Amino acid sequence: MAFDHPLLDKRVQLSCALDETMIALFNQLGWAGHLPMDSVRTPPQKTPSALQAL
């Protein structure tokens, strides 16, 4: 999932690992190399934002 943060004006991308049932399905179909991992990614900020001032 990805969205534009309303205050930081940055793109935020989230992903999460699948549950055991979906992992088993991916393994059975030979898709194990495409399993997502838990992560949160935002680009680095170049200038201080209003949130940093709080």
Core vs surface per residue 21-46: b (16+ CB within 10 A) or e: eeeeebeeeeeeeeeeeeeeeeeeee
- Half-sphere exposure of 54 toward its Cβ, with a 13 Å CA cutoff? 4
More confident residue, 47 or 8: 8
Query: Structure tokens of 52?
Result: 């940093």
pLDDT at residue 8, rounded to an integer:
83
pLDDT tens-digit profile of 20-37? 898 899 899 998 887 776
CB atoms within 10 A of CB 16: 11
